[in-house]
């Protein structure tokens, strides 16, 4: 069942248009993923009621909310900068939304604040002020303030972007745990694909104000429906060519300098132009060819990431390909200029469907 629906929503600006069809299921975490300027913030502000749409409709629990003002939509928001009230202590910050609704007793507010603090392990913080909290603690308080008044929808606008890497990893799991315990339908807005992959039930990839693809993290990563999604979510080596022949469930694909064998798909035929990709972790380097699909080239650089090494190889076709090797295989570290073969199995290749 849909909790929130954006049906044919359009918002026009002088040089840009947002067109959005979006269905958010009850109790899920949906992430809107895309780069700066793609329309994430505009979509958030439309849902929150800060921007009026030019056409289409918004539904919350099947009721149209196009003209419902922000304060009557019962939507909680956590902003990127947290926006805690500096002159209020933790208790008053969390209680703020409940007091504004004027339907809770003092005892109900007290019990709810205590419940919220216990949820994230911050019992006893009631009398601290924002400037006495760490960045991670401020983020938790901003989250609790948004969910304390029992919102129908929770919007999270790049909530972890100001935190260091390790704290982001810890807090995104905490956000997910809180969301699961309370069952709040949540829309998470971010440009960080790793963040989106780790926290989401489903992901909506946005490009230039339009939905590019919607799916689970696994679907988005393993079966991107466009070159844009393949490149934006993770790293992909993308190759275009023409199908020469089909045999035994495989295509032989011709590119200007190579022939590759990839799994066949029934909606493609011989002589068609296609685009396929393979992921860096599905390929490997060697000093002699070892797979059916091979690209000869030279190592141009490597990026050491601790658990893995990303090696860039410039092929004889002048394209640069990325290979991922685990740190246990350090054969190709500091081998810039060395001639190698990039190998990738047939089954690692996936066709990017036409859109």
**What does each C-alpha distance from 156 to 38, 84, 282, 317 come to in angstroms?**
17, 15, 34, 44
Cβ(333)–Cβ(302) below 8 Å: yes
Determine phi and psi for 232, rounding to 5 degrees: -80, -35
Helix (H, G, I), strand (E, B) or coil at 201: coil
308-315: strand order across its sheet = 284-286, 339-344, 293-304, 308-315, 320-326
Q: Consecutive sets of 10 residues in the chain, 355 residues long: mean pLDDT of each?
A: 95 95 97 95 96 97 96 92 91 95 94 95 95 92 95 93 83 91 96 94 97 96 93 94 94 95 91 95 93 96 85 94 79 84 96 78
d(CA 47, CA 30): 13
Residues 96 and 118: their CA atoms lie apart, in Å, by 18
**Cα 256 to Cα 261: distance, rounded to the nearest angstrom:** 15
pLDDT at position 334, please? 75
Number of neighbouring beta carbons within 10 Å of residue 173:
12
CA 67-18-33 angle, to 5 degrees, is: 105
In this prediction, residue 302 carries a pLDDT of 87
Q: Rounded to 10 degrees, what is the CA torsion of 180, 182, 184, 187?
A: -50
CB 299 within 8 A of CB 332: yes
Q: Is 171 helix (H, G, I), strand (E, B) or coil?
A: helix
DSSP-derived secondary structure for 285-306: EESS--SSEEEEEEEEEEEE-S
Q: What is the pLDDT of residue 26?
A: 96
> Which domains, ranges and CATH numbers included, belong to the chain?
2-231 (3.40.50.300), 235-351 (2.40.50.100)
Handedness of CA 11, 17, 23, 25 (dihedral sign): negative
> Which distant-in-sequence residues (6+ apart) come within 8 Å of 315 by Cβ?
257, 295, 296, 297, 321, 342
Q: What does the pLDDT read at residue 355?
A: 59
* Alpha carbons 110 and 112: distance in angstroms, whole number: 5
The DSSP code sequence of 227-240 is HHHHHHSS--EEEE
């Amino acid at each position: 069942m849909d909790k929130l629906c954006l049906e044919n929503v359009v918002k026009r600006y002088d040089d840009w248009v947002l067109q959005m069809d979006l269905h958010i299921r009850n109790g899920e975490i949906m992430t809107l993923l895309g780069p700066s300027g793609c329309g994430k913030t505009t979509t958030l502000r439309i849902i929150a009621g800060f921007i009026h749409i030019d056409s289409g409709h918004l539904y919350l629990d099947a009721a149209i909310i196009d003209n419902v003002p922000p304060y009557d939509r019962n939507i909680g928001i956590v902003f990127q900068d947290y926006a805690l009230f500096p002159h209020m202590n933790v208790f008053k910050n969390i209680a703020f939304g409940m007091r504004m609704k004027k339907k809770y007793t003092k005892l109900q507010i007290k019990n709810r604040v205590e419940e919220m603090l216990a949820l994230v392990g911050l019992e006893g913080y009631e009398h601290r002020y924002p400037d006495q909290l760490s960045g991670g603690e401020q983020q938790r308080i901003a989250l609790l303030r948004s969910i304390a008044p029992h919102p129908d929808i929770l919007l999270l606008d790049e909530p972890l972007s100001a935190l260091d890497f390790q704290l982001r990893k810890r807090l995104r799991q905490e956000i997910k745990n809180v969301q699961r315990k309370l069952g709040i339908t949540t829309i998470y807005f971010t440009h960080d694909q790793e963040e989106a992959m780790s926290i989401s039930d489903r992901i909506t990839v946005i490009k230039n104000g339009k939905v590019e693809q919607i799916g689970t993290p696994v679907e988005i990563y393993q079966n991107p429906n466009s070159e844009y999604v393949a490149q934006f979510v993770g790293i992909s080596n993308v190759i275009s060519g023409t199908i020469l022949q089909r045999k035994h469930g495989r295509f032989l694909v011709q590119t200007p300098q190579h022939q590759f064998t990839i799994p066949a798909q029934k909606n493609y035929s011989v002589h068609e132009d296609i685009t396929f990709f393979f992921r860096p972790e599905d390929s490997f380097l060697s000093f002699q060819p070892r797979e059916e699909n091979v690209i000869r080239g030279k190592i141009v650089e490597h990026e050491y990431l601790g658990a893995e090494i990303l090696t860039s190889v410039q092929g004889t076709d002048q394209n640069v390909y990325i290979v991922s090797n685990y740190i246990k295989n350090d054969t190709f570290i500091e081998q810039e200029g060395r001639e190698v073969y990039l190998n990738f199995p047939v089954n690692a290749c996936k066709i990017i469907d036409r859109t």
